[in-house]
Amino acid sequence: MILVGSSFPNVELQKVLSKYAEDDSVIILTETTSNIYHPKFINSIDKVIFPVSSEEFEEFKPEILVTLGGMVISKKIKQLLRKSPPKHHWHIDELGAMDTYHCLSEFVQTNSAEFLTSLFETNENVESDYQQKWLEEKGRRAEKHEAYMQKCEYSDLKVFEAILEKLPNESQLQISNSSTIRYSQLFDVNSTLRVFCNRGTSGIDGSTSTAVGAAFSDEKPTTFITGDLSFFYDSNALWNTNIPKNFRIIILNNAGGGIFRFIPGPLKTNAADYFETPHNLTAEHLAKMYGFEYVQVADLKELNAELNEFYSETEQPKIMEIFTPKEINDVVLKNYFKNL
Ligand SMILES: Cc1ncc(C[n+]2csc(CCOP(=O)(O)OP(=O)(O)O)c2C)c(N)n1
């Protein structure tokens, strides 16, 4: 198993990993922020393994785990690999290694594309149904995903699907922490995009600033998708005279920290408000103050209509604020995972 965490787009790495995809004994798992794409890769890790129990994972676990790149966001793969560790874990990176799965046996401090290329040359194919097993699982989950999404009601999940479908080709996507980055992992992201998340230690404090800087340094359009609390927390990022006109911000405003309705704990205590931080704020006045065009939507029809216009050329950068129903977002997502 080759597991690729966050990485800059890398043509050499893409090339060599595509070769490994032809080896039946290898499965490649990629995160949305890995910037690596191939139809035979498992590009939505959580979608495929969320329903897999530790016992079932015995069939899917690798003998050798090779990890590349930075942070891995999928909590489930971390849990499964920690519980059922592979015989060997090698991390390949020029800088450093973290023992994320508590079984690191080898840190190879080198360029990962070069390492994999040399390894490929000495590699002997073995007969195996390992990749096939994973790909069959991927196919089954993809069907369940489609069926659920077709009847899925207006919610953060449904909105995310619509946003991802309309992103312009070859553009840059910046995603903030909390549920936003996790939703993105459930969909097939347009393979011409370059996708980034200021993951760090999952802070909500600097994503907007990072997106502004990234937009400034890129001629192609940049879209930043963020939650409302993350946006308000770092709104000072907009106090900047260098924001390009082709910068777009999409705020999923579910009136607080929606993630705290999803994770176990907060809703069962009387302290849910302190986790969720409910509010009635909108970004409208901030948009006006900082010279952004502003549009707000509150249902799927409006959203699709506005998305059709959203990326056309404008004289100012633009914010779209999407209001979603906080009472059902978590139910829709929990049912999504149940349905898988
Ligand atoms: C700097 C910082 N403070 C607090 C937190 C704890 N925290 C994690 S998620 C979250 C809520 C984020 O809400 P929002 O951006 O609206 O996204 P949603 O959960 O609705 O997707 C908070 C406060 C954090 N991650 N970073």
Residue 268: φ, ψ to 5°: -85, -5
**Tally of CB atoms within 10 A around 46:** 18
**Residue whose CA lies nearest to ligand 1 atom number 17:** 227
Beta bridge partners of 90: 66, 106
The alpha carbon of 96 is separated from its chain's Cα centroid by a whole number of angstroms, namely 23
Query: What is the helix (H) or strand (E) element at residue 207, kind and residue range?
Result: helix 207-216
Atom of ligand 1 nearest to the CA of 329: 20
Atom of ligand 1 nearest to the CA of 276: 11
State if residue 179 touches ligand 1 by the CB under 6 angstroms criterion: yes
Closest CA to 224 of 257, 203, 185, 198: 198
State if residue 68 touches ligand 1 by the CB under 6 angstroms criterion: no
At residue 80, the pLDDT reads 97
All structural domains of the chain, each given as residue ranges with its CATH number in brackets, are 2-142 (3.40.50.1220), 152-339 (3.40.50.970)
Burial 53-77 (b: 16+ CB within 10 A, else e): eeeebeebbbeebbbbbbebbbebb
Among 204, 253, 276, name the best residue to mutate to test ligand 1's pocket (greatest count of ligand atoms within 8 A of Cβ): 204
Q: Helix and strand tally (H, E) in the chain?
A: 15, 11
Concatenate the DSSP letters of all residues of 320-333 into one string: EEEE--HHHHHHHH
At residue 163, the pLDDT reads 98
Eight-class DSSP state of 116:
H
Residue pointed to by tokens 């312009």:
168
Atom of ligand 1 nearest to the CA of 254: 20
Atom of ligand 1 nearest to the CA of 201: 25
Sequential pLDDT tens for the chain (340 residues): 999 999 999 999 999 999 999 999 999 999 999 999 999 999 999 999 999 999 999 999 999 999 999 999 999 999 999 999 999 999 999 999 999 999 999 999 999 999 999 999 998 888 999 999 999 999 999 999 999 999 999 999 999 999 999 999 999 999 999 999 999 999 999 999 999 999 989 999 999 999 999 999 999 999 999 999 999 999 999 999 999 999 999 999 999 999 999 988 888 888 888 999 999 999 999 999 999 999 999 999 999 999 999 999 999 999 999 999 999 999 999 999 999 9
Tokens of residue 127, six digits = 């007969």
At residue 176, the pLDDT reads 97
At residue 267, the pLDDT reads 84
State if residue 329 touches ligand 1 by the CB under 6 angstroms criterion: no
3-state secondary structure at position 194: strand
Instruction: Output the CA 221–ligand 1 centroid distance in Å.
Output: 26
Residue pointed to by tokens 């993951």:
199
State if residue 205 touches ligand 1 by the CB under 6 angstroms criterion: yes
Instruction: Output the CA 229–ligand 1 centroid distance in Å.
Output: 6
Burial 213-230 (b: 16+ CB within 10 A, else e): bbbeebeebbbbbbbbbb
CB 249 within 8 A of CB 226: yes
Instruction: Output the CA 230–ligand 1 centroid distance in Å.
Output: 6
Question: Which residues, other chains included, contact 218 with Cβ-Cβ below 8 Å and sequence gap of 6+?
Answer: 172
